[in-house]
Amino acid sequence: MDSVRSDRRPGNGLPTAIKVLIAGGFGVGKTTMVGTVSETPPLRTEEVLTETGIGIDDLSGVEEKATTTVAMDFGRITISDDLVLYLFGTPGQDRFWFVWDELAIGALGAVVLADTRRLADCFPSVDYFEGRGTPFIVAVNSFEGSQQYGLDEVRQALNLDSDVPVVICDARERASAKEVMITLLEHAMKVRDARSVG
């Protein structure tokens, strides 16, 4: 891994790659966010939900969902000629979590998408990134018909540290998804700087 990083010094013509994960529960909008914000058509590993998932995949609150991510979603955002952001959307179901460890290697940070109708579904993501020491933010995805809660209420319900940013977003809106990415990058840099001083 170090040899890859050493090739990406300023002036060598290769952009610096920043890896970001987008995580959260089943049906929270991870695939939508990657597709919304990616400058290229995203790579998706969506499969149609089948009867095999009955009793395994909880569709309450997302009854209209017809597909699911079985490996990852992948997108790209060029920040500048020498800086590229790679987005990896994680699968939401427990049975695909073995993929997370591989995806998390080298990630600068993560966005944990939350749905207030199913807030408990993002606890495993929060626990995962806290356990790894990966900087993360929580982005509450706005869904029609869902009860709106204040950011402090969401923070308290998820038992988040006061320094973890919590924002409202609409994963379908490009400007909103970009603001989420900016918030994550600013937070991750702040955490990195604090760790280098400490």
> Where is pLDDT greater, at 170 or 95?
170
Instruction: Give me the DSSP letters along 137-179.
Output: EEEEE--TTPPP--HHHHHHHHT--TTS-EEEE-TT-HHHHHH
Distance between start and end Cα atoms, the chain: 25
33 residue type, one letter = M
> Where is pLDDT greater, at 165 or 15?
165
Contact indicator for 53, 68 with CB cutoff of 8 Å: yes
The pLDDT tens digits of the residues spanning 1-50 come to 333 343 445 556 778 999 999 999 888 999 899 999 999 876 655 555 45
The pLDDT tens digits of the residues spanning 124-139 come to 999 999 999 999 999 9
76-79's contacts with Cβ under 8 Å and 24+ in sequence apart are 76/38, 76/39, 76/40, 77/37, 77/38, 77/39, 77/181, 78/15, 78/39, 79/18
Instruction: For domain 2-197, give the fold.
Output: Rossmann fold (3.40.50)
Q: How confident is the model at residue 172 (pLDDT cuts 50, 70, 90)?
A: very high
Which pTM does this prediction carry? 0.79
Distance CA 185, CA 100 (A): 20
Contact indicator for 177, 36 with CB cutoff of 8 Å: yes
Name the burial class of residue 163, with classes exposed (0-12), middle (13-18) and buried (19+) by CB atoms within 10 angstroms of its CB.
Answer: exposed
Phi/psi of residue 158, nearest 5 degrees? -90, -5
Q: What is the pLDDT of residue 100?
A: 83
Which residues touch 1 (CB under 8 Å, ≥6 apart)?
106
- Residue 55: pLDDT over 60: no
Q: How confident is the model at residue 194 (pLDDT cuts 50, 70, 90)?
A: very high
- Residue 96: pLDDT over 70: no
